[in-house]
Amino acid sequence: MFYTIDILGTIAFAISGVLVAFNKKMDLFGILIIAFVTAVGGGTLRDLLIGDTPVSWMRDITYTYVILTSAVFAIIFRSKINYLRTSLFLFDTIGIGLYTLVGIEKGINAELHPIICIALGTMTASFGGVIRDILCNEIPVIFRKEIYATACILGGITYFLLNELPIKTNIVFVIAGIVVIATRLLAVKFKIALPNIYKE
């Protein structure tokens, strides 16, 4: 199930990368690069940091095929996709919830401290977007007021707290993922943001 959702998340992130590249009026090569780094950037950085090489998308060519197909789809149907931004946002939000947990599990398997595991989960979920924004000459979303990485961190904390209770691992996964997703959705819906330390 996680593999299937991972693939679906890859599709969503690749398409969102294409949309950003279009806004920057990049050429075809630029569009493909942005789609690729958005989809697998976070997982690549995570795998490199924990020494899990070759990284996951290099071991499984399916990811490359999925990204290329998604990018071509987005290019052909870009005028229609613009109407699906809300759906893509929801899918992206579900994706960061799942990728946070995937990163945490990778950290646990590497026998790392819980704080480092949470950092890996946050990195997996959000650093593809960081790399994308840097390449597109934008300040990454997670470094601005918008609640994004904070949602991943809250989900990670929830995961480790629930693990101390007599609850099945599958249920812990579901609850922690819901915390990430719900935090992100509520923050956007009610325009909740981290405090701005700079005076206007």
* Per-residue model confidence (pLDDT) at position 86: 74
Per-residue pLDDT tens over the stretch 12-25? 888 888 888 888 88
Percentage of the chain beyond pLDDT 90 is 52
* Average pLDDT, integer, range 64-93: 81
Q: What is the pLDDT of residue 7?
A: 84
Mean pLDDT for the chain overall = 87
CA–CA distance, 56 with 116 (Å, rounded to integer): 20
User: Going by C-beta distance under 8 Å and a sequence separation of 6 or more, which residues neighbour residue 67?
Assistant: 10, 14, 35, 36, 39, 40
Asked if residue 20 lies in contact with residue 14, where contact means CB atoms within 8 angstroms, the answer is no
| Phi/psi at 192 (5° precision) | -85, 135
Query: What is the spatial distance between Cα 19 and Cα 76, in angstroms, rounded to a whole number?
Result: 12
**pLDDT higher than threshold 60 for residue 196:** yes
pLDDT of residue 170: 84
Q: Considering only 87-96, 101-110, 157-166, 184-193, which range has the smallest mean pLDDT?
A: 87-96
Nearest CA to 152 out of 66, 92, 198, 195 is that of 92
Looking at residue 23, what is its pLDDT? 83
Residue 102 and residue 121 in contact, taking contact as beta carbons nearer than 8 Å: yes
155 C-beta neighbours (distance < 10 Å), count: 29
Name, in order, each residue with C-beta under 8 angstroms of 58's C-beta and a sequence gap of 6 or more. none
Asked if the model's pLDDT at residue 146 lies above 90, the reply is no
Mean pLDDT across the stretch 10-38?
A: 89
Most confident of the ranges 69-73, 84-88, 141-145: 69-73
pLDDT in tens, 148-190: 889 999 999 999 999 999 999 889 988 999 999 999 999 888 8
Mean pLDDT (whole number) for 79-86? 69
Q: What is the pLDDT of residues 39-63, one digit of tens each?
A: 999 999 999 999 999 999 999 999 9
Which one is predicted more confidently, 199 or 76?
Answer: 76
pTM for the full predicted model: 0.84
Q: Quote the pLDDT of residue 145.
A: 64
